[in-house]
Amino acid sequence: MIRFDRIWVNVQLATMVTGATDRGEIRDGALGVCDGKIAWIGPRAELPESVAAETRDGAGGWLLPGLIDCHTHLVFGGDRCGEFEERLEGVPYAEIARRGGGIRRSVEGTRAASPEQLHRSAEQRLRRLIGEGVTTVEIKSGYGLETETELRMLRAARKLGAEGFVSVVTSFLGAHAFPAGMDRDAYVDLVCGPMLDAVAAEGLADAVDAFCETIAFSPAETERVFQAARAKGLPVKLHADQISDSGAAALAARHGALSCDHVEYTGEDGVRAMAEAGSVAVLLPGAFYMLREKQKPPVELFRRHGVPMAVATDANPGSSPLLSPLLAMNMACVLFGLTPYEALLGMTAHAARALGLAADRGTLEVGKRADLSLWRIGRPAELCYWMGYGGGLLVERVIGGKPSTPARVGLV
Ligand code: DI6
Ligand code: FE
């Protein structure tokens, strides 16, 4: 006799287990949870004798892993709508950055914001992600570029996680841009030394990220940041090859990066290096769309070399003010040519892997954390099909086996 804390019945299951037959789909399934973990999953007809403290009827809906947005910059002050207008008039993103706008504009807004303002504005945005089934979100720093503000951003992110409605994974992105008026070497020294020391001492980062690009950190500077990160035992990831191919993905792979993100300009050598290192390619179609880029990521090469592809919103005030994970999946299909199944893997199993959490979540399997999303849809691909209807499709989210409280997170 199995005892469950809770069991879902009358559901279709999309387990997102890669390599399973029928894409891991189970019709008329059941899923039982115990102590926050998935304790049993399979066709309802095969359910062994069991008792459950609570039975939830899924009304024939589809149960998936909770969605995982593995690349966001949700915490920031101010906005960059003015630059959006400039870009529409033809000023390129890189040109705006060179003039001191872009990321530096958000740095001004973020430095000026109080901890409460940072927390409250990020929470508003987080509600939109949660309202579309997100149960784990990665949040980066990188709009402080000075120790105190970087710490403030990461603390705000940790606080959002501590509230319990979503798991928050943080990345320290001190190497996002160079602060105005500071010598490059001196800033890299600061990031690799006192800044990273302070971040690590407070346990504020789960990984270290950098922006390796002609308009940002050079490969040599990125290398220094990675060495410092690894000396602290922190995994690395990289904004790589977004607007040019500087061999950034290969560099990140050499450091065993969890993921290489953007990767539009990554060539076959880089893809091969990622495959060998097991790095995930995080595709960010929101930034591609918003910046009206032309170069698409090498999806066919990723498939051929077996590099897992994740999909994320890249939610940020400049290049991707996108707060809809479902629209990100739609864009990954329409703009980059992913199949809906690949896009769904990109926001579940592969996103978990990009965060180093594959053993714990991202698929519906016995022993994994019971983070779930239940949807009123006829088939999983529908999640990639509608545009702007995500909240209407979500029936409930489940965090660690417990249905989340919709009122507190703005779902009702
Ligand atoms: N690439 C991105 O997509 C974000 N950072 C980066 O290096 C966006 C940065 C921004 O424009 O604020
Ligand atoms: Fe980004």
DSSP string, 313-363: ----SSS-----HHHHHHHHHHHH---HHHHHHHTTHHHHHHTT-TTTSSS
| Sequence letter at residue 73 | H
The pTM of this model reads 0.97
Q: Which ligand is nearest to the CA of 317?
A: 1
Give residues (CB < 6 A) around ligand 1.
73, 102-103, 106, 176, 211, 239, 242, 287, 314, 316-320
pLDDT in tens, 282-328: 999 999 999 999 999 999 999 999 999 999 999 999 999 999 999 99
Nearest ligand 1 atom to the CA of 143 is 12
Rounded-to-integer distance, Cα 297 and Cα 75, Å: 27
Could you tell me where the DSSP H helices lie in 41-80?
A: none
Q: Whose CA is nearest to atom 10 of ligand 1?
A: 318
Cα of 189 from ligand 1 centre, angstroms:
22
Q: Percent of the chain, pLDDT > 70?
A: 98
Q: Whose CA is nearest to atom 1 of ligand 1?
A: 239
Q: Percent of the chain, pLDDT > 90?
A: 93
Span 177-197, average pLDDT: 97
Nearest ligand 1 atom to the CA of 177 is 7
- DSSP structure class, residue 5: S
Report every protein residue that has its C-beta within 5 angstroms of ion ligand 2. 314
Q: How confident is the model at residue 99 (pLDDT cuts 50, 70, 90)?
A: confident
Contact 223, 243 (CB under 8 A): no
Span 200-220, average pLDDT: 97
Cα of 369 from ligand 2 centre, angstroms:
27
Residue 71 has pLDDT above 50, yes or no: yes
Residue 406 has pLDDT above 70, yes or no: no
Residue 409 has a pLDDT of 53
Cα of 313 from ligand 2 centre, angstroms:
9
Residue 97 has a pLDDT of 85
Residue 200 has pLDDT above 90, yes or no: yes
Query: Ligand 1: which of 76, 320, 322 to mutate, judged by most atoms within 8 Å of the beta carbon?
Result: 320
Residue 12 has pLDDT above 70, yes or no: yes
Cα of 249 from ligand 2 centre, angstroms:
14
Q: Whose CA is nearest to atom 11 of ligand 1?
A: 318
Cα of 144 from ligand 2 centre, angstroms:
15
Contact 176, 211 (CB under 8 A): yes
Residue 94 has a pLDDT of 86
Q: Which residues contact 106 (CB under 8 A, 6 or more apart)?
A: 76, 77, 78, 80, 143, 316, 317, 318
Span 320-339, average pLDDT: 98
Q: Which of 11, 1, 54, 51 has the alpha carbon at shortest distance from 31?
A: 11
Residue 391 has a pLDDT of 81
Q: How confident is the model at residue 125 (pLDDT cuts 50, 70, 90)?
A: very high
Q: Which residues contact 42 (CB under 8 A, 6 or more apart)?
A: 26, 29, 30
Q: Whose CA is nearest to atom 2 of ligand 1?
A: 319
Query: Ligand 1: which of 171, 176, 238 to mutate, judged by most atoms within 8 Å of the beta carbon?
Result: 176
Cα of 227 from ligand 2 centre, angstroms:
21
Could you tell me where the DSSP H helices lie in 131-195?
A: 147-162, 184-190
- On average, the pLDDT of the chain sits at 96
3-class secondary structure, 3: strand
Span 55-73, average pLDDT: 98
Residue 410 has pLDDT above 70, yes or no: no
Nearest ligand 1 atom to the CA of 106 is 12
- Cα 382 to the center of its chain, rounded Å: 21
Q: State residue 320 phi and psi, 5-degree precision.
A: -155, 70
pLDDT in tens, 251-267: 999 999 999 999 999 99
Residue 56 has pLDDT above 60, yes or no: yes
Residue 412 has a pLDDT of 42
Cα of 318 from ligand 1 centre, angstroms:
7
Rounded-to-integer distance, Cα 58 and Cα 395, Å: 9
Rounded-to-integer distance, Cα 103 and Cα 179, Å: 10
Q: How confident is the model at residue 405 (pLDDT cuts 50, 70, 90)?
A: low
Span 348-367, average pLDDT: 98
pLDDT in tens, 38-54: 999 999 999 999 999 99
Q: HSE-up of 95 (CA within 13 Å, CB side)?
A: 9
Cα of 32 from ligand 2 centre, angstroms:
36
pLDDT in tens, 126-160: 999 999 999 999 999 999 999 999 999 999 999 99
Q: Whose CA is nearest to atom 8 of ligand 1?
A: 319
Between 20 and 62, the more confident residue is: 62
3-class secondary structure, 67: strand
**All domains of the chain, ordered by start, with CATH?**
2-66+364-409 (2.30.40.10), 67-354 (3.20.20.140)
Span 229-239, average pLDDT: 98
Span 190-217, average pLDDT: 97
Rounded-to-integer distance, Cα 90 and Cα 100, Å: 17
